[in-house]
Amino acid sequence: MQVVEKSSEGLSRVIAVTIPVAELNEKLDARLKEVAPQMKLKGFRPGKVPVAHVKKTFGREFMGEIINDSLNTSSQAALDEAKVRPAAPAEMKLVSDMDKVIAGQEDLAYEMSLEVMPEFTPVDPKTLKLDRPTYEATDADLDEALTELAGQAKSYEDKKGKTVKAAEGDQLIIDFVGKLDGEVFEGGSAEDAELVIGSGRFIPGFEEQLTGAKVGEEKTIEVTFPADYQAANLAGKLATFDITVKAIKAEAEAKVDDEFAKRIGLESLDKLKELLSANLNQQYAGAARFKLKRALLDALDKAHDFALPPKMVEAEFDGIWQQVEADKAAGRLPEDDAKKSDDELKTEYRKIAERRVRLGLVLAEIGRANNVTVSDQELNNAIMNEARRYPGQERQVLDFYRQNPNAAAQMRAPIYEEKVCDLIFDTAEVTDKPITKEELLKEEDEI
């Protein structure tokens, strides 16, 4: 095999590979001699088929298999010989006349066009200085979390008073029967339904007409279903509902005590506080790691300046821009971005794409230099965690990753990145820096 680098411009390479026809014919002859004794053809005794006849009958087919195998094995060998690391799979272009190659009359020649990984020396992690933000949950934080939890676990008690009337925020227990043109329609009736006035859970206008209702009262209300209502047979229709108010309840004052803790499945208030405190500190630790990682990536980005493989940048930008266009169509673009032209946005997001590619290459090189790997067990654990996010569909998720190596590789990438970051945090000079909760939880752009 002959390997020649035809062109080299920046990170682009064109490598010419030639496999001599003599080498191909030698492999074909060896294959023919191997299979001829096993051939059973009409007109010949078993094992007595002449090699020349086998070649005449099956030579093109065998040569085609040899060529395919040669292309697969020689391409990696050629890259190794040229001492290049591809940034992406090479594009292959056949140069030979394939009819002549298959006929054993011409060398197999092809060219590989590819972009190679840039050569650079990554910064020594020992030289990096980083501030790690720290914050511990306070008693005030715990009280705030308890109050929020109590608010989420609302309870209601029968409203008391001489003349009890339903008001905003009250919970009503009602029976109702819905009708269209005087006829009961399917799905429009219920008994002992819970309705909180002002919650917006019922059809617009339904809850408001029950304000002032009394226990035992029977009344009929009219409402119009929204034009975009999910049931097409009801969308935009005027309906009546015959309602019986069976109870009126007011929101009970939430007492955060042992009984409250037991109501949500814990043995005591102390146990609840212990769990909440642990959850808060876990949340704060996650936010602190995000900021520390952001500081690390900013430092790495600042410390490196090298040429980037254009196709890698383009692929990263395309992924970002697809999301931008989807957000634009759904009206989810940030206010600042919504004011900018597409050209302005493309310029900004291309810089983000370049930063991501640069940082990915730097982290990969630091990891490679320090023998960082992701074990099969770590990957399997991540896939299992992903599968648990889809109860009832775990088997399909697991099969998807087993059958799609690219998807598994995408799952492996963030694990590898986090391991490299951990390596750097353990090596760099990291100083704890106490900050306020507001500073810790302040939203920042994605890394």
Rounded distance between C-alpha atoms, residue 200 and residue 223, angstroms: 14
- The verdict on 265 and 238 lying in the same domain is no
Last residue of a domain, one of 192, 218, 251: 251
Out of 50, 85, 115, pick the residue that ends a domain: 115
Euclidean distance between CA atoms 158 and 155, whole angstroms = 10
CB contact burial 86-95 (16+ within 10 A = b; e otherwise) = bbeebeeeee
What is the per-residue pLDDT for 254? 73
Give yes or no: residues 171 and 290 share one domain.
no
pLDDT at position 445 is: 67
Helix residue ranges, H only, 304-393: 310-329, 335-338, 342-369, 376-388
pLDDT for the residue numbered 88: 86
Closest CA to 295 of 432, 106, 147: 432
C-alpha of 374 from chain center: 18
How open is the CA angle 335-339-344, to the nearest 5 degrees?
A: 115
**Is residue 109 located within the same domain as residue 194?**
no
Return the SS3 of 55: helix
Q: Quick check: is 160 in a domain? A: yes
**Is residue 47 located within the same domain as residue 189?**
no
What residue numbers bound the domain in which 327 lies? 261-441
Taking the C-alpha atoms of residue 285 and residue 441, their distance in angstroms, rounded to an integer, is 11
**Nearest Cα residue to 292 out of 130, 126, 122:** 130
274 and 230 housed in the same domain: no
pLDDT tens series, the chain, 447 aa:
899 998 888 899 999 999 999 999 999 999 888 888 877 777 777 777 788 887 888 889 999 999 999 998 999 999 999 998 999 889 999 999 999 999 999 999 999 999 999 999 999 999 999 999 999 999 999 999 998 888 777 778 898 887 899 999 999 999 999 999 999 999 899 999 999 999 888 999 999 999 999 999 999 999 999 998 888 889 999 999 999 999 999 988 778 889 888 888 899 999 999 999 999 999 999 999 999 999 999 999 999 999 999 999 999 999 999 999 999 888 888 888 989 999 999 999 999 999 999 999 999 999 999 999 999 999 999 999 999 999 989 999 999 999 998 899 999 999 999 999 999 999 999 999 999 999 999 887 666
Structure confidence at residue 446 (pLDDT) = 63
Instruction: Please give the C-alpha separations between residue 418 and each of 26, 128, 137, 374, 413, in angstroms, as whole numbers.
Output: 50, 17, 25, 10, 9
Specify if 124 maps to a domain.
no
Tell which residue, 419, 123, 118, has the closest CA to residue 300. Answer: 123
Structural domain ending residue among the three candidates 199, 216, 251: 251
Q: Which residues fall within 8 angstroms of residue 342, CB to CB, at 6 or more apart? A: none
Q: Residue 77 sits in a domain of what CATH number?
A: 3.30.70.1050
Question: What is the sign, positive or negative, of the torsion defined by CA atoms of 60, 61, 65, 71?
Answer: positive
Q: Are residues 48 and 90 in the same domain?
A: yes
Task: Specify the amino acid at residue 160.
Answer: K
Q: Count the alpha carbons within 13 Å of 245 in the hemisphere toward its beta carbon.
A: 27
367 lies in the same domain as 392: yes
- 346 occurs within a structural domain: yes
* Residue 212 CB coordination number (10 Å): 10
Does residue 392 form part of some domain? yes
**446, part of any domain:** no
287: which residues sit within 8 A by CB, 6+ positions away?
A: 133, 440, 441
Distance (Å, whole) CA 122 – CA 234: 65
DSSP designation for 86 = B
Residues 237 and 271 placed together within one structural domain of the fold: no
Question: Does 125 reside within a domain?
Answer: no
Residue 380 included in any domain: yes
Total domains present in the chain: 3
**229 and 307 in a common domain:** no
Measured in whole angstroms, the distance separating CA 165 from the mean position of its chain's CA atoms is 51
Give the CATH number of the domain where residue 163 resides.
3.10.50.40
What are the DSSP calls for 114-134, one per residue? EEBPPP--PPPGGG-EEEEEE
Token pair of 198 as six digits: 């002002």
Question: 74 and 212, same structural domain?
Answer: no
Do 179 and 289 share a domain, yes or no?
A: no
- Sequence-distant (6+) residues with CB within 8 A of 315 are 88
What global pTM score does this model have? 0.71
Q: Is residue 382 part of a domain?
A: yes
36 and 104 inside one domain: yes
Q: Which residues contact 145 (CB under 8 A, 6 or more apart)?
A: 276, 279, 280
Q: How far apart are CA 120 and CA 270, in angstroms?
A: 55
